[in-house]
Amino acid sequence: MSINTGSFLKRTKETNLSEEELLILDVLFDVRDTFESLVRENYVSWHNLPYSHNLETNVLRDLINRLVESGIIHPHTSGFDNRIFYGLTEAGGNLWEVERAPNWERYCTDYSTQDETGHLTFSVESPSTSTAQAFMDCAKQCGLYGFKQDEMRITTLIEEQPTTIYWKAFSTVCSISVPTYALPDTNQLDWHEYERRRSWWRDLAELAKFQAV
């Protein structure tokens, strides 16, 4: 495996972050994760990426320790086994922003929840109402989710608590939720149409299209 993001993500080179450090910050931009997920052999499969860094495990551990000491990432324990998870600090997030120049107006995140009766709700959140609406419309048309348009519930949140971008606060966040139902087994997700219509990004792979570099 080699470090090669030339055709994937661009960087501004406006910070002193090494390529290896930036690759670690990349996969923590929207999630806190374990050391095991950052190990070279797991980086690709655990984060669904086509590349990895070249660091041996002991070298990676030293790098993580330096990032912690520098106030770029922060460790915390969670779960019954007190497993250590690493996440970006605000300072680390700001460094990542400078290098990757994400267009936050085009960012969104989607998820499903299930209540105690088994009913599913599909939700999308974005700093931009138009971005959230565009993703919701495409999700239905391309077969990501099944729902009725007239059951959508749109809420504008005054953001005072972290979103999935846990280190960054947005002034407002648009949330759209709708009850969803299972699509038939014969349903085929139209990824070509999804990509043709995509005016948003949800992850590193999708970010590349809208980097403001």
Write out the DSSP string of 48-72.
Answer: T-S------HHHHHHHHHHHHHTTS
Beta bridge partners of 78: 83
d(CA 78, CA 95) in angstroms, rounded, equals 25
d(CA 183, CA 75) in angstroms, rounded, equals 40
pLDDT score, position 201 = 96
Same domain membership, residue 160 and residue 82 = no
Number of domains into which the chain is organized: 2
Pairing of strands 109-114, 120-126: antiparallel
Which of 100, 129, 162 corresponds to the end of one domain? Answer: 100
Q: Band of the pLDDT at 162, cuts 50, 70, 90?
A: low
Q: What is the DSSP string of 18-49?
A: -HHHHHHHHHTSS--EEHHHHSHHHHHHHHT-
Q: What's the average model confidence in pLDDT over 170-178?
A: 90
pLDDT surpasses 50 at 6: no
In terms of pLDDT, which residue wins out, 3 or 44?
44
Same domain membership, residue 206 and residue 121 = yes
Residues 26, 88: contact at Cβ < 8 Å?
no
Q: Listing from the earlier edge strand, what are the strands of the sheet with 33-34?
A: 33-34, 83-88, 73-78
d(CA 205, CA 5) in angstroms, rounded, equals 11
Q: Comparing C-alpha atoms, which of 15, 10, 102, 115 is closest to residue 67?
A: 15
In a domain, 4, yes or no: no
pTM of the entire structure?
0.88
pLDDT surpasses 50 at 1: no
pLDDT score, position 190 = 85
Which of 71, 100, 129 corresponds to the end of one domain? Answer: 100
Q: Band of the pLDDT at 3, cuts 50, 70, 90?
A: very low
pLDDT score, position 97 = 96
In a domain, 144, yes or no: yes
In terms of pLDDT, which residue wins out, 212 or 162?
212
In a domain, 156, yes or no: yes
Residues 85, 64: contact at Cβ < 8 Å?
no
CATH code for the domain in which residue 41 is found = 1.10.10.10
In a domain, 76, yes or no: yes
Which of 81, 100, 119 corresponds to the end of one domain? Answer: 100
Average pLDDT, the chain: 89
pLDDT score, position 4 = 43
Q: What's the average model confidence in pLDDT over 46-50?
A: 90
In a domain, 142, yes or no: yes
Pairing of strands 153-158, 120-126: unpaired
Q: Band of the pLDDT at 181, cuts 50, 70, 90?
A: confident
Range of the domain at 80: 19-100
**Picking from 49-53, 111-115, 199-203, 208-212, which range would have the lowest pLDDT averaged per residue?**
208-212
